[in-house]
Structure 1
Amino acid sequence: MMNGPLLACLKRIACGIAQQFGPNCEVVIHDLSDVDHSIVAIENGHVSGRKVGDGPSMAVLDALSGQPGKMHTEGSYLTKGKNGRILKSTTIYLRDENETIIALFCLNFDITELSLASSALAPLISVMSQKSEDRSIPQNVTELLDDLLEDSVRLVGKPVPLMTREDKIRAIHFLNERGALLITKSGDKISQFFGISKYTLYSYIGGTSDESSRS
């Protein structure tokens, strides 16, 4: 049986949790010394429709009939209320100095509306393509060009100083296909980025194999 100070402390914690998470969060304290009327404190009892003096939950029976030494905190599992509401639950087993389970501290958060919202949002946030963009939206054309240059390096798979002529041609063709050359004065930046002249840049785009254009 819980002593008075422990129960008072648990009640204050239960009240604080309920205030923090709002009316959808039920907090229940079960005293195992009186199984038939195990609920000694409850916040937001409307979630499950229970009140102080009501009987045990399945978790209480598990604690009494199972092997106490193997009973540990069960966090974040799904249960269902009598009214069909979906609850996200956590059960904490409280023990005395002899490791005997004397009480349960339980949380039941009604996630019914959240589950419905998640189902409604899923089609809106799902994507058909496997492509993933792990970057922020560019604020201007300079950032956009920088992003495209980074993409070209990732495409080749090696830093610019290690790129061969063929690697640079591949990267520049990629930039041209993505429209990078449509950005005003992008030719200057791209040439500087790859360490080539503008003449070489445009010869790469044109596909010339003139030996004098190598860089």
Structure 2
Amino acid sequence: MKKTSEHHNLLAQLQQVADGLGKTLAPFCEVVLHDLTEPDHAILAIHNNLSGRSVGEPATELGLARAADPGVDQVIANYPNTFPDGRLAKSTSVGIKDSDGRYVAALCLNVDLTVFRSLNTMLTQFGSVDRAAAVNDTLQPTGAEAIRLRIDDFAARHGTTPRALKTDERRALMGELKDSGLSDVRRAMDIVAAYLNVSRATVYNDAR
């Protein structure tokens, strides 16, 4: 496909987008810009190189499919992929069309899942406790965790976070805590105030 001035402009702008995404998502996500007007030398830019490819290498099978068929989905998100060395990846490919509806470029994101899976394993191990241990101790006031769990549940049901609750929502929350008996827990108002990041006076006012 012969490049037009429109194609040159699109590719120039996409190089800036790829550069910005690469810097933002480093080092866990590879960002690759493909020039589909030259499928045999498609890779125009590659940031956070995780696949070992180089600028000037050919397009992938998906890129070739797009170059041949404008009907291929423009956004294919979160599909399983594999790096050349066997590492698992999660990929998203965004096709870019010109004013005639033909694919001229593709912006691809490849996330290295092995890093996150290893991190998840370490965090799970670090956060595990021996529930068979005979010691029964707490560093928090009795009932504090129950109050926090109830607040988390309330916030989730309202599609927000505890610290983002509005005045009317906090009042409804205090009503639920009262009805459940949790407002009678020792230092309940202090616990609620700290968790919501508001003053004790605000909590007392909301509880009226």
Same fold (TM > 0.5): yes
**Structure 2 equivalent of residue 213 of structure 1:** none
Q: How far 1:23 sits from its partner (Å)? A: 2.5
- Identity, in percent, stands at 32
The TM-score, its normalising length taken from structure 2, stands at: 0.56
Change (3 A) 1:62 1:124: farther
Change (3 A) 1:126 1:97: farther
CA drift of 1:38 comes to 0.9
Shift of 1:122: 4.8
Q: TM-score, normalised by structure 1?
A: 0.55
Q: Which residue of 1 aligns with 2:44?
A: 40
Measure, in 2, the Cα distance between the counterparts of 1:26 and 1:11.
14
In the alignment, does 2:21 pair up with 1:17? yes
Which sections of structure 2, spanning at least 5 residues, go unmatched?
A: 130-137, 151-178, 187-208
- Shift, 1:50, TM fit: 1.0
**Correspondent of 1:54 among 57, 70, 74:** 57
Task: Specify which of 2, 8, 18 is matched with residue 4 of structure 1.
Answer: 8
1:75-134 CA distances to partner (integer Å, 9 max, x unpaired)?
Answer: 11221111112222110010011211111111112221212233455567689xxxxxxx
1:62 is displaced (CA, Å) by: 2.3
1:64 matches 2:67: yes
1:113 and 2:103 aligned: no
Corresponding residue for residue 96 of structure 1: 98
CA deviations on 1:22-66 (whole Å, 9 max, x unpaired) are 133211111111111111122123x1111111011122122134x
**Counterparts in 2 of 1:94 and 1:36: CA distance versus 1, 3 Å:** same
SS in 2 for 1:3: helix
Alignment partner, residue 87 of structure 1 = 89
Take 2:101 and 2:128, find their aligned partners in 1: how far apart are those partners?
48
Partner residue, 1:31: 35
Partners of 1:20 and 1:122 in 2: how far apart? 27
2:39–2:67 contact (8 Å) kept in structure 1: no
Once the 2 structures are TM-superposed, how far is the Cα of residue 68 of structure 1 from its aligned partner? 2.0
Aligned residue number for residue 141 of structure 2: 140
Q: What is the DSSP-based 3-state SS (H/G/I as helix, E as strand, rest coil) of the residue aligned with 1:49?
A: coil
SS in structure 2 opposite 1:50?
coil
CA RMSD of aligned residues (A): 3.6
Where do 5+ consecutive residues of structure 1 fail to align?
128-136, 151-158, 161-179, 184-215
Structure (1 or 2) with the larger CA radius of gyration: 1
**Aligned pairs, how many?**
144
**1:75 equivalent among 74, 77, 102:** 77
2:160 is matched with none
